[in-house]
Amino acid sequence: MTDATGHMDRPGASPASSSLYVSGIPLNVYINYNPQSGRVEIVKPMPAGTPDELINDFPDAASARAWANEEFTSGRLPAAV
């Protein structure tokens, strides 16, 4: 999270951007609608002063959530610590 207050910093990030969960387990990413690209993003929050890391983007939220579910169940996307 790049800003000094620790808020999400991707274009369009807002309180509507939310953490992702798979089977009730929180992941270390959030989902964001980027109005500049018109795409739904999976984003890894970073410490203050470092830009949040775009992991992947999708045409819609359903595709983003399906991808996150697959990545988590295959062990490629970690749970939040």
Q: Summarize pLDDT for 60-70 with one digit per residue, the tens.
A: 999 999 999 99
Q: 1-6: long-range contacts (C-beta < 8 A, 24 or more apart)?
A: 1/45, 1/46, 1/47, 1/48, 1/50, 1/52, 2/46, 2/48, 2/49, 2/50, 2/51, 2/52, 3/48, 4/48, 4/49, 5/48, 6/48
Rounded to two decimals, the pTM is 0.81
pLDDT at 7: 61
Residue-range domain boundaries for the chain: 18-73
Q: What is the pLDDT of residues 1-43, one digit of tens each?
A: 444 445 677 777 776 677 899 999 999 999 999 889 999 999 9
